[in-house]
C-alpha cells in the first residue's frame, strides 16, 4: 500500500463525534492531496462546529503523522443544508431551518435554554434568529438586553425588520407593546398576532430560526404548526416526574402534527453547591434520558441548576454571551453542535416538513 493510500486509510478511521461516521462517508472531505508525505486536507462539515475545529485539527494531524505524513495542513469550514419545505412563507423563504423550542409546562427554563442555544449556534458560526412566540409571557427581549420601548423598524407593505442584539435577530410581541401591558386576549386574537409576526417580519438569510414556544399544547402551538414550516422540535424538561409527564404531552403533540422531535434537553439536572462542591439531584435523576429513550429520541444535553444562568439571563446577557469560555457555555455549545448535526441528518433523510394531521382518538 502506497503512502497516500495509507494516509487515507488512517483518515477514514476517524469517527466524527456528532455524525457517528467517518469523514469520507459523511461527505466532509472536500479534497485530500498528498505530495511527498505532505498532506493538504480540506473539510466542509454539514453542521456548525467552530468550537471543535482546533480539536479536530489536532486529532487528525496526530493520526496522519502517525501513519507516515511529514506535514499536515488542514482547512475547515461548514455548509448548512436547508430543510425541504412543502409550504412556503415569503418572509421565511431564506431561512434554512426552523426549530421549535417547547416545554410541556412552564418553569422548566425553556426560554433561557432557547436564548442560550440560539447564542451558542451563533458562536459556533451560524446566522441565527429567535421568535418569541410566548404571547402571554414574552421574555426574549429582556434576556437579550433590548431596552423597553424599542420597536422594530417598519418597512413598506406592513413589513418590519427584526431587532438585532448579541449577534442574533429577534422578534417578540414585547417590542410592540408597553412592558407592563397584560395580553388579555382570547385564542383567535393570539393566533392572529402570531400569524402577523410570522408574515410581516423580514428575517432575511438565516441558518436557523428558533421559536420560543409558550408552554403547553394550545392555540399558539397549533397555529405555528399550520402556518410555519417547522423543521423539527426540541423539548425542554426538568427531571421532575410532573415535568416529564407534561413533556410527554408535548412530544405527542408534535407527533400529531408530523413535526419530528430532535431530542430532549434536561434542564436543572443537578445542583452543585458553590461552597463545598456537593452534587445533588434536586428534581430527580435521569428523567430526560428515560423520556428520550421511551420516545426513541435522544438526550441532547443536560444543564445544571445554577444561579449564574438565572442572573445572567435576567441581566440581559445570557450565559453564552456573558461567560463564553465557561463550563456552562461549553455545555450549551456542545448541545448546539449536536442540534446542528441532527438537523443535517434529518434533512439528508428527505424530511418534507410538517403537515397538519388531526387524529381523533
11: domain CATH number? 3.30.300.130
Same domain? 97 vs 47: no
Output the pLDDT for position 354: 40
Output the pLDDT for position 129: 98
Q: Which three cell numbers, joined as nine digits, stand for 10?
A: 488512517
**Residue 110 in this model has a pLDDT that exceeds 60:** yes
Same domain? 62 vs 32: yes
Q: Name the domain boundary from 78, 99, 122.
A: 78
Same domain? 186 vs 210: yes
Same domain? 147 vs 74: no
What CA–CA distance (Å, rounded) separates 345 from 128? 19
Domain total in the chain: 2
Asked whether residue 101 is assigned to any structural domain, the reply reads yes
Output the pLDDT for position 190: 85
Q: Name the domain boundary from 54, 78, 102.
A: 78
Region 128-150: mean pLDDT is 93
Asked whether residue 354 is assigned to any structural domain, the reply reads no
181 vs 267, residue with greater confidence: 267
60 vs 107, residue with greater confidence: 60
Same domain? 98 vs 43: no
Output the pLDDT for position 86: 66
- With cut-offs at 50, 70 and 90, classify the pLDDT of residue 327: very high
**Residue 79 in this model has a pLDDT that exceeds 80:** yes
Sheet bearing 29-35, strands edge to edge: 29-35, 38-45, 71-78
Same domain? 200 vs 144: yes
What CA–CA distance (Å, rounded) separates 280 from 299? 20
Region 221-235: mean pLDDT is 89
Which domain covers residue 281, as residue numbers? 90-348
Q: Name the domain boundary from 57, 78, 99.
A: 78
Asked whether residue 355 is assigned to any structural domain, the reply reads no
Q: Pick from 36, 28, 35, 37: which is nearest to 75 by CA?
A: 28
Q: Are 87 and 196 in contact (CB under 8 A)?
A: no
Asked whether residue 14 is assigned to any structural domain, the reply reads yes
CA distances from 27 to 31, 42, 47, 293 (A): 10, 11, 12, 29
What CA–CA distance (Å, rounded) separates 181 from 213? 20
**Residue 357 in this model has a pLDDT that exceeds 60:** no
Asked whether residue 191 is assigned to any structural domain, the reply reads yes
**Residue 358 in this model has a pLDDT that exceeds 50:** no
Amino acid at each position: 500500500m502506497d503512502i497516500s493510500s495509507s494516509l487515507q486509510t488512517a483518515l477514514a478511521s476517524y469517527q466524527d463525534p456528532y455524525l457517528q461516521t467517518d469523514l469520507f462517508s459523511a461527505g466532509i472531505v472536500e479534497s485530500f492531496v498528498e505530495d511527498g508525505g505532505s498532506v493538504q486536507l480540506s473539510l466542509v462539515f454539514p453542521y456548525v462546529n467552530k468550537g471543535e475545529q482546533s480539536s479536530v485539527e489536532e486529532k487528525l494531524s496526530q493520526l496522519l503523522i502517525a501513519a507516515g505524513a511529514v506535514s499536515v495542513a488542514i482547512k475547515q469550514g461548514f455548509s448548512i443544508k436547508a430543510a425541504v419545505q412543502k409550504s412556503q412563507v415569503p418572509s421565511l423563504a431564506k431561512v434554512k431551518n426552523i426549530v421549535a423550542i417547547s416545554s410541556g409546562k412552564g418553569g422548566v427554563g425553556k426560554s433561557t435554554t432557547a436564548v442560550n442555544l440560539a447564542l451558542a449556534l451563533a458562536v459556533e458560526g451560524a446566522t441565527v434568529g429567535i421568535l418569541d412566540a410566548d404571547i402571554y409571557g414574552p421574555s426574549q427581549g429582556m434576556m437579550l438586553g433590548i431596552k423597553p420601548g424599542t420597536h422594530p423598524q417598519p418597512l413598506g407593505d406592513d413589513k418590519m425588520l427584526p431587532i438585532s442584539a448579541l449577534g442574533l435577530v429577534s422578534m417578540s410581541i414585547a417590542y410592540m407593546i408597553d412592558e407592563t401591558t397584560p395580553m388579555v386576549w382570547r385564542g383567535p386574537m393570539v393566533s392572529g398576532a402570531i400569524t402577523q409576526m410570522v408574515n410581516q417580519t423580514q428575517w432575511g438569510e438565516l441558518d436557523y430560526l428558533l421559536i420560543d414556544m409558550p408552554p403547553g399544547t394550545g392555540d399558539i402551538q397549533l397555529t405555528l404548526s399550520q402556518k410555519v414550516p417547522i423543521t423539527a422540535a426540541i423539548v425542554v424538561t426538568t427531571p421532575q416526574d410532573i415535568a416529564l409527564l407534561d413533556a410527554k404531552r408535548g412530544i405527542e403533540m408534535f407527533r400529531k402534527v408530523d413535526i419530528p422531535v430532535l431530542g430532549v434537553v434536561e434542564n436543572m439536572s443537578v445542583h452543585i453547591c458553590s461552597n463545598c462542591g456537593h452534587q445533588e439531584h434536586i428534581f430527580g435523576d435521569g428523567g430526560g434520558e428515560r423520556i428520550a429513550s421511551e420516545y426513541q429520541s435522544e438526550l441532547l444535553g443536560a444543564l445544571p441548576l445554577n444561579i449564574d444562568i438565572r442572573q445572567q439571563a435576567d441581566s440581559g446577557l445570557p450565559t453564552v454571551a456573558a461567560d463564553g469560555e465557561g463550563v456552562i457555555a461549553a455545555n450549551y455549545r456542545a448541545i448546539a453542535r449536536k442540534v446542528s448535526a441532527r438537523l443535517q441528518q434529518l434533512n439528508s433523510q428527505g424530511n418534507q416538513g410538517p403537515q397538519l394531521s388531526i387524529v381523533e382518538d
